[in-house]
Chain A
Amino acid sequence: MSPPTIKCPENTSNTGAYRISWKGPDDVVYRLEENGTLLYQGPHKASTVTGRQAGVYSYRVGLMSETSREVQSWSQPCRVEVSPPSLALALTLFSLGLVVFLSTLVLIVRGHKKHRRGELQ
C-alpha cells in the first residue's frame, strides 16, 4: 500500500491549536508522531493538536502493518510553526476591552437611572 499523505496547516498557528489530517485507505491503523513521539495511534484520519508553546513542530504519519503491528510506510514529514501574538499586544487589547466594557456599563447604568426617574422620555 502507498504511504499516507499528510496535511499540516499552511499558515503559522497563533493559538498553538491546529488540525493535522491525512489521506489513506479506510479501516487501517495509523500512527501519528510529533517530533518523533507518538501522538495518536488508531483508525482516524485527523487529529487536533492544542496547547503547544511557541516553536516548530514536525509531524509524520505511518500506515501500520496489520500483521506485525509495525509501521509499514511513512508519509513525508510536515512542519507547523507556532508563533503567538506578543504579550504586549495581548495586554494592550485586554486593557482596551476593559475600557470599552466599563464605558458601556457606565452608559447603561446611568441611562437606566435616568430612565427610571422619567428623565429620558
Chain B
Amino acid sequence: MTEAVLTAETGWIILGAFSVAWIALGWFWGRRHRTFDGHVLAGRNVGLALATATAMATWVTSNTTMTAPQLAYQLGIWGMVGYSLGAVGLMMFAPIAERVKRLMPNGYTSGDFVRTRYGRLGWLVFLLISLFYGLGWLVSMGMAGGVLLKALTGIPYHVGMLTITLVCVGYTLLGGLSAVIGTDFIQSVIILVGLVVVGVAAFTHLPAAEVHSHLAENRPELLNLLMPASIMFLFNNLLFGVGEIFHSNVWWSRAFAFRKGKGFKAFFTAGLLWLPVPVAAGAIALAAPGLGINVPALDMVGPLVVGRLLGTAGAVTILIVVFCSLASSLDSLLAATSDLLVEDVYRTLWRPNASGRELRWAARVIVLVLGALAIVLCWGRLTTLAEMIHFTGAFVASTIWPIAAGLYWSKTNRYAAILGMILGSAAGLYAYFTIGFFTAALVGAIVSMLCVVAGTLLFPQPFEWSRLGELRRPEEEA
C-alpha cells in the first residue's frame, strides 16, 4: 500500500493521450511500406538523425529510468556510475554496425550471422540465449509499466501492465520498424527534456550537500567506494550492456536498417547522449533517505522520490518520461524478436520460399503472440526488475566474444565459440546464485572469452567472409 501522487484519472488521461498518438503514428508510418524489407527494416534507408534517436531511445529503457534509481539506492555511488557504463556497449557497437552492414547487405538478423559463421549448432545455442534474453527484457518492461502506474497513479499493477503492453503491441503491429523508429525519435526528445527538467528541479529542492550528509550519517555503505558488491557491479554492468547490444537483434536490425555509412556515427553519438541519463535518474534515488521516504519495493524508489520532491508536476513529467522510455524499448524488442523468429525460425526452418507478403503477416502474428506471452509472464510479478534483468546477464555476456571474434577474426574456432556461450552461461549462472546478481555477466564474459581465445589459438578454423554476403532476400509480390 502506497500513497499515489497522481489520481488514477490523471494517469488514464496521460496514458490515453499518448496511446492514441503512438497507435495513430504507427498506422500512419506503416502505410508506406508494402514489402518485407520495408516492414521489418524500414526499407534499409534510415538517416542519421532518426538512427541516432532510435539507438538512444531504445537504450533508455524503463530499466534505465527505473532500475538506475534502484541500483543507486541499493549499491550506492558505484551502482549509479556502473549503470551509466552501459553506454560503452552502444559505442563499442558502432564499428560492428558498420561492419555487418558491409558484410551482410541482405542480412536481417543477428541469427543470420551466427548461422552462417558458426553453423546450425552454434545458431541453435545462440537463438535460445537470444530468445531467453528477449523474453526477460520484455517481462521486465511489462512489469515496469505496471509498477510505475501503481506507484504514481494508484492504477492497479495488472491493469497498468496490460494497458502499456497492449498499446506497444498495437502500434508495432501496424507500423513495423518504421513506426518503432519514428515514435522513438519523438520519445527520445521527450525523455531528454523530461530528465533535464526533473534533475534540475530535484536538486534545486534538495541540495547535494544535504543528501550527502544524510547518507554519510545513516547509510554510509552507499557512499563507500570499496563496497565489495558495488566494485564487482561496475564491470559486471559494463559487460552486461556490451553483451546485450552485441547479441540482440534489436541492435542488429537497426544496423541493417540504417542507411550505408550512418551506423557508426549513430551508435557512437547515441552512446554519448545516453551516458549521463542513468546518473541523472539514479542520483534522485539517493535523496530518498534524507526525505524520510519509505520505499516498500526497490523498483519504486525513483517515482516515489520525484513524486515527493516535485509533487504533481514532477509526477506527471516522470510518468511521461518513463512511459516514453518504456514504449521505445518495448516496441523495439517486440519488432526485433518477431524479426528473429520470422527470419530464423519461420523462413529458415519451415518456409524457405515464403513470399515477402507471407513473411510480413508472420511477423505480425508473432508480435501478437509475444505480447500475449509477456502479459502472462508479467502477471505474477515474480521478482524485482534488477534481479530479473541481471539473471539474463550470464547468458548475454557469454556471447560477447563469439560475436566480436566471429566478426573480426577469420580463424575463430566455431566449436570454441559454441562452448564459450554454453560454459560462459553456466559459469555466470553459478556466480549469480553463489556470489550475487552483480557477478553473473562478469563471470560469464570471462569464461566465454577464455574458451574462444584458447580454442582459436589451438585449433584455428579459416572462414570466407564472402559467405556472409550470400544471404538472399525473399521474393516480393508485384
Chain B residues with CB below 8 A from A42, complex form = 294
Q: Which residue of B lies closest to A88 (CB)?
A: B228
Chain B residues with CB below 8 A from A115, complex form = 95, 98-99, 102, 408
Q: Given A51-B219, A85-B435, A105-B92: A100 and B445 within 8 A (CB)? A: yes
Q: Which of B13-21, B167-175, B233-241, B332-340 contacts the other chain?
A: B233-241
Tell me which of A14, A47, A93, A100 contacts B294 (CB under 8 A): A47
Tell me if B213 counts as interface (CB < 8 A to partner A).
no
Chain B residues with CB below 8 A from A111, complex form = 95, 99, 404, 407-409
> CA A54 – CA B445 in complex, angstroms?
29
Q: Which of A2-10, A15-23, A58-66, A71-79 contacts the other chain?
A: A15-23
- Asked if B222 contacts A51 (CB within 8 A), the reply is yes
Interface size band for A: 35 or more
- Asked if B242 contacts A104 (CB within 8 A), the reply is yes
Q: Min CB distance, A52 to chain B, in Å?
A: 6
Chain B residues with CB below 8 A from A101, complex form = 88, 235, 238-239, 242
Tell me if B349 counts as interface (CB < 8 A to partner A).
no
> CA A52 – CA B228 in complex, angstroms?
13
> CA A52 – CA B227 in complex, angstroms?
11
- Asked if B294 contacts A40 (CB within 8 A), the reply is yes
Q: Min CB distance, B1 to chain A, in Å?
A: 6
- Asked if A96 contacts B446 (CB within 8 A), the reply is yes
Tell me which of B2, B74, B238 contacts A50 (CB under 8 A): B74
Contact flags A77-121 to B (C-beta < 8 A → 1, else 0): 000000011110111011011101101110111111011000011
Chain B residues with CB below 8 A from A93, complex form = 231-232, 235-236, 439, 442-443
Tell me which of B235, B439, B465 contacts A120 (CB under 8 A): B465
> CA A114 – CA B408 in complex, angstroms?
9
In this complex, how many residues of chain B approach chain A with their Cβ under 8 Å: the count is: 57
> CA A47 – CA B304 in complex, angstroms?
13
- Asked if A107 contacts B229 (CB within 8 A), the reply is no
Q: Given A89-B435, A104-B400, A108-B92: A94 and B239 within 8 A (CB)? A: no
Chain B residues with CB below 8 A from A108, complex form = 92, 95-96, 404, 408
> CA A86 – CA B228 in complex, angstroms?
7
Chain B residues with CB below 8 A from A16, complex form = 221, 227, 229
Most buried by B among A15, A46, A91: A15
Chain B residues with CB below 8 A from A94, complex form = 231-232, 234-235
Tell me if B204 counts as interface (CB < 8 A to partner A).
no
Q: Which residue of B lies closest to A111 (CB)?
A: B408
Tell me if B460 counts as interface (CB < 8 A to partner A).
no
Tell me if B410 counts as interface (CB < 8 A to partner A).
yes
Most buried by A among B220, B295, B409: B295
- Asked if A97 contacts B239 (CB within 8 A), the reply is yes
Q: Which residue of B lies closest to A84 (CB)?
A: B228
Tell me if A35 counts as interface (CB < 8 A to partner B).
no
Given A97-B442, A115-B95, 20 further pairs, Cβ under 8 A: A48-B73, A48-B297, A48-B298, A50-B219, A51-B220, A86-B228, A89-B232, A90-B228, A93-B236, A94-B234, A96-B446, A97-B232, A97-B234, A97-B235, A104-B400, A107-B408, A111-B99, A112-B99, A115-B98, A120-B410
Q: Which residues of A contact B (CB under 8 A)?
A: 14-17, 19, 21, 26, 40, 42-48, 50-53, 84-87, 89-91, 93-94, 96-98, 100-101, 103-105, 107-112, 114-115, 120-121
Query: Closest 10 A-B residue pairs measured CB to CB?
Result: A97-B235, A51-B219, A111-B408, A90-B228, A112-B95, A46-B296, A51-B222, A17-B74, A90-B231, A51-B221
